[in-house]
Structure 1
């Protein structure tokens, strides 16, 4: 349970480096490359083969019969996935390595990797989705293996770990290394040892791909996503009124033993099956023998006063658990790679509750979330903000916590639980956009959709910290698909995607109305309920390192799968209103075309 692994794991810390532009054409740079400056002067140009992506709408395509079987009905999910990948890419079954998958209702999802001599590829992947037995979506970044290294390592991983530690300025975190092929941007394929390294003081957590023949570090996965709420300080604002006492807010469908038990062990502190919330440094939780965590936050005094630390821990614990519970209702379950210590035999890998470090000492004026693969705990780090006097605590601004938790959701659900499939500049930017969009979804209170601003409280800036409020009004927010061509940084790209999703949300609510019970009842057809279903369904359908275009297509296919395409025109019109129309290509040129009938 979290209480046992918590004390040892809390030493792992996170921080994300800022991605810089690389000298490739704009669409290539966003879709395949990312340069990171890491540790002691190390520069790594990460490469991810461009994904192809196709959806088939309501018709779908037939599943080929796997080799050696008489019918599709007797085949396993892995057999079917491998057979379809073979049929589409013309590869041998030995070149396809099944990674993960699950079935939910009438839909199924499988994630596979390219393989050679039994060694999987790290960045050549594919995903297949079925609806009622027919294939409805397929994404692939498989590559040619003409120029591939020997599958037998020349160097042992143990001999390379010290070099990786030095280069990344961290320590090996004892997560078992793996041997994986890595496609490079010259289309050669290197054999690499994959090693995780972290540094508490610097707040880093990386996964390094180091050549098993030469010892050179070829790529790095950064498990951290930052919220980056950086703005000019303005007048101090009083902490918003509204704290209330909630009785048993847990959703017992999503958390069957409540928030303080994994079904085996019970706790009386802010450690449970989904989340462990604590103050960094002192490694202290908030404790109550009667589970009455009733301490009010007072922002007229410093966040580090004991009563405020106690209140901040409880609020972070409450918000993070609430995100776990409502996203569980909409599909972020154990089999879909969520964060839980005990998965209750429902699939996925257990032992990975979120570690929520409140008032983390590694930074100021920010927050971040590290998303390692399914089975390793996600880590959320919440910082104090010093833009006001007294200072303010990000753990009592709920949109910051929701934003960070959503990084865990999107990184896990895209690509089958690897935490590796939002790594290009464009996909990373969309990750920031999804996080803002989720924070908005929680905050909208009625069918009267309001413009949305992020980070007002901690910065004491009513305009927030994004370039524009999220709005359907182009005069308020002019960002369009073509705007992405101007941007090289993930948070700014995220603003474009989040504003598109704001427009999709507003259109669905205008069409279908608003449910005040959306957090706990996903079984109605109001616009905000439909939106959240499509939000999460599309994550499972989209390819590794999606683009704006492929992510839009995944939304359309998700609507076809769940609602028989009832919202296709509404969604397309919203995307097209911001330049992501039917014939938009991956070149950041606006297009306003709509499908026939819309």
Structure 2
């Protein structure tokens, strides 16, 4: 109750700056805003400056960084990034803060923040990508400092420790001791606030926020929500649901992605469902091996309640297996230490470590759901899997593989978009696509042949094989799934928007497989050219290219540029036709009007 007096003040602060703003059209709200209901009646409207995004096909040259004109040593990524930003946006080098970068063969990626008076901006960011030394993509939400109506003094009036207690009360959680930062925040009315940024978490309720509190007034101005929710035993990962049948698998780990297996970080070894990539447990208790030699052989019995002792162990084993398998196959396709993945030890390969995924099976904080929290690189992702009570006996979400894959994919997309911050899928539109990517990944692992099947999410836990938890199965048949780009105009909830994006990707997948065939070894061999392999390469490559808080159009363009980068544009027309078949054609704009155009020559 102590937090209630603070709530009206917060609401006044959140909306005072919005009162005089011009009405935002739907497409602009989706691309820049997100409204969240938090805790005890608190409504928070977050704002993100609109990102612009350009792709450059074969690439464009950029100015040579100062001091490297006659140097035999190539410039570092940070030098190239700052120089390009200066040329592209006309900003001074002092206003560009290099945050992260990575190099992968002929490809390089950089992520920067706008800076003023030595303080970085939280929501004015940029990213760029190079191939063979040429710039191939550039996204930016930088703002024109000269046009800003008011920018706060860079010296805080309030100490961060003075604003943490009231923010804890407002967000119904506790400060988790991650070091706070001081960052500027662009407001919707064009002003810029100085904010203390810190994390508030409630492990019991499963919430995890990054709060932006004005360093001069103490008002809560915005939040980043690290938790992505979904409405979703050992089963081989290609089997979607429990009735497909459990199997005993021998050594399923991929030693390329997990060089010391799933129960070791190279130094410490375990005989439980803990390891370098994942720790899985129920109520804080991990599952121990059933016999020496890392054997975890307990069958699940769904004629009994999930809380039966043997079922608890079997469900934990399955969650551990699926989460590790997702780690391993996404590693093969590019979600590695350098690109901000989840591992306790990174074996000296880059990125921040100490952040394996924690999976809470049969989590007590909810029912009929699942969620995944994606904090920045270096902090563990947290997956919560719930029991579903639509049937008698109840069913365990950890026994439906598409649910776990969906949740793990939130970690992939939130880390790879925007350079490992976990902040860059926060608008309504981008958050919706986050849900769509997760369904699309679950769809991908469930397809078994070149005969692309319709895909139903959540069919086992709901006992609805034909319907599941989405409005339609994912399908290439418009009679089965009529969702198109224009459908988004009528939607404002992220899972519903995600269905549109996931169905588009289902259609992209289908045409790639129809043209290139299907690989039965796609989970472990990314070096072939079948359609399902190409699809997953473009899926992950595009995440690195797209801007912070992308739109449907941005994400489509990132797929096209990813194909140019990896396959020399061989699939450009195939991709465009697939997107256009569902309204996201060449000339589709941000206003959710269908367009069927494709480039000349297609």
TM range (shorter): over 0.9
1:102 and 2:102 are equivalent in the alignment: yes
Deviation at 1:241, TM superposition (A): 4.1
Give the match for residue 8 of structure 1: none
Superposition pairs of residues 586-597 of structure 1, within 5 angstroms: 586-597=590-601
Stretches of 4+ aligned residues off by more than 6 angstroms: none
Distance change (3 Å), C-alpha of 1:591 and 1:332: same
Q: Secondary structure at the match of 2:212?
A: strand
SS in 2 for 1:574: helix
Deviations 1:84-105 (A, max 9, x none): 0111010000100011010112
Specify the alignment match of 1:284 in structure 2.
286
The answer to whether the Cα contact below 8 Å between 1:65 and 1:71 also exists between their aligned partners in 2 is no
Cα separation, 2, equivalents of 1:263 and 1:284: 20
Checking the alignment, whether the CA contact within 8 Å between 2:457 and 2:469 is kept in structure 1 is yes
- When structure 1 is superposed on structure 2, of 116-125 and 429-438 the one drifting more is 116-125
For the residues of structure 1 that align with 2:180 and 2:365, how far apart are their CA atoms? 26
Give the one of 564, 571, 575 matched to 1:571. Answer: 575
Give the alignment of 1:62-81 within 5 angstroms. Answer: 62-71=61-70, 73-81=73-81
Check the 8 A contact 2:57/2:564 in 1, yes or no: yes
- Shift in Å at residue 66 of structure 1? 1.4
- Could you say which residue in structure 1 is the equivalent of 2:545? 541
Q: Which shows bigger deviation, 359-368 or 109-118?
A: 109-118
TM-score, normalised with respect to structure 2:
0.93
Name the residue aligned to 2:246. Answer: 243
2:260: which partner in 1? 257
Decide whether the 8 Å contact of 1:315 with 1:396 is kept in 2. Answer: yes
Residue among 328, 331, 340 paired with 1:328: 331
Change (3 A) 1:241 1:430: closer
Task: Give 1:419's aligned residue.
Answer: 422
Cα deviations by residue, 1:503-555 (Å, 9 ceiling, x for unpaired): 00000000000000000000000000000000000000000000000100000
Equivalent in the alignment of 1:82? 82
> Structure 2 CA distance, aligned partners of 1:507 and 1:320?
28
Q: Is the 8 A contact 2:242 2:399 kept in 1?
A: no
CA deviation vs aligned residue, 1:271-309 (integer Å, no higher than 9, x gap): 0000000002x4333344431100000000000001000
CA distance in 1, matches of 2:347, 2:70: 32
Contact 1:126 1:140 (8 Å CA) reproduced: yes
Pairwise CA distance, 1:217: 0.4
Q: Give the match's secondary structure for 1:426.
A: helix
How many Å apart are 1:64 and its aligned residue? 1.2
**Is the CA contact (8 Å cut-off) linking 2:362 and 2:385 kept in structure 1?**
yes
* Cα pair distance change 1:415/1:239, threshold 3 Å: closer
1:516 equivalenced with 2:515 (yes/no): no
1:71 Cα deviation from its structure 2 partner: 4.9
Q: Is residue 296 of structure 2 the alignment partner of residue 293 of structure 1?
A: yes
**Aligned residue in 2 for 1:174:** 177
**Paired residues of 1:278 and 1:286 also in contact (CA < 8 A):** no
Work out whether residues 242 and 400 of structure 2, in 8 Å CA contact, stay in contact via their aligned partners in 1: no
Structure 1 residue 148, shift from structure 2 partner: 1.2
| Alignment correspondent of 2:236 | none
Summarize the Cα distance change of 1:71–1:519 in structure 2 as closer, same or farther, 3 Å threshold: farther
Specify which of 499, 506, 510 is matched with residue 506 of structure 1: 510
Aligned pair in 2 of structure 1 residues 115, 290: CA closer, same or farther (>3 Å)?
A: same
Structure 1 Cα separation of the partners of residues 242 and 213 of structure 2:
48
* 1:143-154 aligned within 5 A: 143-145=143-145, 146=148, 147-154=150-157
Q: Which residue of 2 aligns with 1:15?
A: none
SS for the counterpart of 1:57 is strand
SS in 2 for 1:569: helix
Q: CA deviation at 1:482?
A: 0.4
Q: 1:105-254 residue pairs with structure 2 within 5 A?
A: 105-145=105-145, 146=148, 147-229=150-232, 239-254=242-257
- What is the aligned partner in structure 1 of residue 9 from structure 2? none
Would the aligned equivalents of 2:171 and 2:200 in 1 still touch at CA under 8 Å? yes
CA distance in 2, matches of 1:283, 1:89: 53
> Which one is further off, 64-73 or 175-184?
64-73
TM-aligned CA deviation for residue 204 of structure 1: 1.1
Shift of residue 75, structure 1, vs aligned partner? 1.1
Deviation at 1:44, TM superposition (A): 1.6
Q: Is the 8 A contact 2:318 2:399 kept in 1?
A: yes
Question: Does the 8 Å CA contact 1:369/1:380 hold for their aligned counterparts?
Answer: yes
TM-score when normalising by structure 1: 0.93
Corresponding residue number in structure 2 for 1:449? 452
Q: How far apart in 2 are the matches of 1:217 and 1:93?
A: 31
Alpha-carbon offset, residue 464 of structure 1: 1.3
Match of 1:557 among 555, 558, 561: 561
**Contact 1:270–1:314 under 8 Å retained in 2:** yes
**Alpha-carbon contact 1:286-1:313 (below 8 Å) kept:** no
Please report how far the alpha carbon of residue 228 of structure 1 lies from its aligned counterpart in structure 2 after TM superposition. 1.3
Gaps of 5+ in 1: 1-21, 230-237
- Distance in 2 of aligned mates of 1:375 and 1:269: 23
Other structure's SS at 1:549 match? helix
1:42 — aligned with what?
42
